[in-house]
Amino acid sequence: MDGEQQLDARGLLCPLPVLKAQKRLRALKPGDRLLVIATDPKAPGDFRNFCEAQGHRIVAMEEAEGEFRILLEKGA
């Protein structure tokens, strides 16, 4: 799918997953999606705060075996 990319942030600690996602989102068009895979336990809260502050949306978030998959949608 053209409008969805993936960012592997496993092993990175706060704030690196959010900073790397922010950089990737800048290059995307509104409505495009970025799947972030992270292992930092703080990632879910960090991404909630980031999206609230920046106008992006969390489409889905799941955790399995210490790995978080967070699907973000770029805001306008």
pTM of this prediction? 0.94
Provide DSSP, 59-73.
EEEEEETTEEEEEEE
Q: Which pLDDT tens digits describe the chain residue by residue (76 residues)? A: 456 899 999 999 999 999 999 999 999 999 999 999 999 999 999 999 999 999 999 999 999 999 999 999 999 9
Between CA 37 and CA 10, with CA 5 as vertex, the angle to 5 degrees is: 20
14 is annotated as an active-site residue = yes
Per the residue annotation, which of 4, 5, 14, 39 is the catalytic one? Answer: 14
Give the chain's domains with CATH numbers.
Answer: 14-73 (3.30.110.40)
